[in-house]
Amino acid sequence: MIDSLLAGNAKFRHDEYAPNQDYYHTIAAQQKPKVLWIGCSDSRVSEDIVTGSRPGTLFVHRNIANIVAFNDVNIAAILDYALLHLKVKDIVVCGHTRCGGIAALEAGYIEDSYIADWLCVASEALERTEKACRRRSMTHEQKMELLARENVKLQIRHLEHIAIVKRMRKRKTWPRLHGWLYRVETGGIDIVVDGNAAPQA
């Protein structure tokens, strides 16, 4: 597999980089991404491919189940850099269907302590989903999709309460917060939270 990756890089340099050297030299000098993408680490969800984005367009943070944790120094540093230095005006939290982290959250029994602790941050989404399941009948697949959606909504709410985001949204009309759900079975993206339509704080 490693040899395949290196061969892929050679193909990229020949087919993409060489014909577009001016563009790549421009972004080599300075990055000016337009969007901060907070997504899942799942290997099936490659943000540049599923959105048709070129290098230099997205500033990216990925973790298990696309979680925004209040005590995560990593996400805090990324938000600081994206908002204060890169002047990014849009943040996308993108979950996806058939997510292993979401499945583990729903199953409830996880032996790996770090994963279990991490998924606790999404527990409110599970509570909301369980309440919805008690109100109406759902298949397991429907429940899992709803849980993925509720998790995206929850992480948007977490973002809204992080100090730097809250402070900036009081003074400006950005960052705009968008919640999306990528469907691994179709390749489509559903809008869960419309950041363009949401009232600004």
The pLDDT tens digits of the residues spanning 106-149 come to: 988 677 788 989 999 999 999 999 999 999 999 999 999 999 99
pLDDT in tens, 28-83: 999 999 999 999 999 999 999 999 999 999 999 999 999 999 989 999 999 999 99
Residue 198's pLDDT is what? 47
CATH topology of domain 31-193: Beta-carbonic Anhydrase; Chain A (3.40.1050)
Angle between helices 123-135 and 100-107 (to 10 degrees): 70
Query: Could you tell me what percent of the chain has a pLDDT over 90?
Result: 88
Interatomic CA distance for residues 42 and 23, integer angstroms: 29
Residue 173's pLDDT is what? 81
CB proximity list for 19: less than 8 A, separation 6 or greater? none
60-63-67-70 Cα dihedral, nearest 10 degrees: -80
Kindly report the average pLDDT of the chain as a whole number.
94
Q: Which residues are catalytic?
A: 40, 42, 44, 96, 99
